[in-house]
Amino acid sequence: MEIKLIEKFQRQTIEQLLSAIPFFKAVKQLDPAQFDTLLQYSRIITYRPGEVVLHRGDGDQCLYFLLKGRLAVYPSEALTGEPVNYVTPGEVFGDLARLMHSPRSATIVADTSSREIMVFSADFSAFGELESTHPISLPTKLLYYRNTVHNLRWKLEVYRSLHPKDELANRHRAVKLYLGPKDTLEELRSLHEQARTLASLLVAWNDRFGSIAPSSGQSPDRELLKALEH
């Protein structure tokens, strides 16, 4: 693992890397000053294949966005069986612990199939209390939570399509969408509440199935386990 400060990179490089991440792209378009503020709380981390990025049960609350490579998500520290899911470039991860006020819900490992693994890490403490608007503004928070709710709903839809008869399958559809006035604190509160409920449903899927992939229960990823021994 190597941690690199944002200042070590040319501005153009950072902008190019972050243009592939919907949240940062939207913030930059809406309010370039907020984009700069987020950068002040961020750094870039590179990993070697097989390195552990997040440990289930850890208490830190950084938020991550994958820039390059692929990551495997394991529901337990044991790293046996199939990963529960993969994280691909542009996706956010490490967002559930803060949302649910709980330790990390999964272990995330740099995949052995990736040569270069690069992650953008943001210190979530900049978000402060939900309703505070400094240093991160209400519009930026709204972008973040809309994005989070969208991503969680999407993942839960995928799991529903794999296990349509499971009693968890329809639960996320019962989580009400917000229909009130847009761009308000009320919308932020609703998105936050939706995100919390959807996050706990995702963790319930992980707990129930171990791996949600159809090939669940088959042989462990030996290549990955071997790489972890070094």
Shorter beta-carbon distance to ligand CMP: residue 67 or 73: 73
Considering only residues 39 to 58 of the shown chain, the ones binding ligand CMP according to CB under 6 A are 54
199, 69 Cβ separation under 8 angstroms: no
Shorter beta-carbon distance to ligand CMP: residue 91 or 187: 91
Shorter beta-carbon distance to ligand CMP: residue 112 or 206: 206
Q: CA-to-CA distance for 133 and 138, rounded, in angstroms?
A: 5
Nearest distance from residue 27's CB to ligand CMP, in Å?
19
Nearest distance from residue 108's CB to ligand CMP, in Å?
5
Binds ligand CMP by CB under 6 A, chosen from 206, 210, 211, 221: 206
- Listed residue (86, 1, 113, 5) closest to 51, CA to CA: 1
Nearest distance from residue 43's CB to ligand CMP, in Å?
17
What is the b/e burial string over 98-111, where b = at least 16 CB atoms within 10 angstroms of the residue's CB? bbbeeebbbbbbbb
- Phi, psi for residue 75 in degrees, rounded to 5: -70, -15
Considering only residues 82 to 141 of the shown chain, the ones binding ligand CMP according to CB under 6 A are 84-85, 93-97, 104-106, 108
Nearest distance from residue 30's CB to ligand CMP, in Å?
24
**What one-letter code names the amino acid at 32?**
P
Decide if residue 202 touches ligand CMP (CB under 6 A): yes
Shorter beta-carbon distance to ligand CMP: residue 25 or 98: 98
Shorter beta-carbon distance to ligand CMP: residue 100 or 228: 100
Binds ligand CMP by CB under 6 A, chosen from 141, 153, 155, 172: 155
Q: Per the omega criterion (within 30 degrees of 0), is the bond before 164 cis?
A: no
Q: Is the dihedral of CA 214, 220, 225, 227 positive or negative?
A: negative
- Give the β-pairing of 62-68 and 42-47: unpaired
Beta strands across the sheet bearing 85-87: 52-54, 107-110, 71-74, 85-87
User: Which pair of structure tokens corresponds to residue 178?
Assistant: 């917000």
Shorter beta-carbon distance to ligand CMP: residue 39 or 66: 66
Binding stretches for ligand CMP (CB under 6 A)? 54, 73, 84-85, 93-97, 104-106, 108, 155, 202, 206
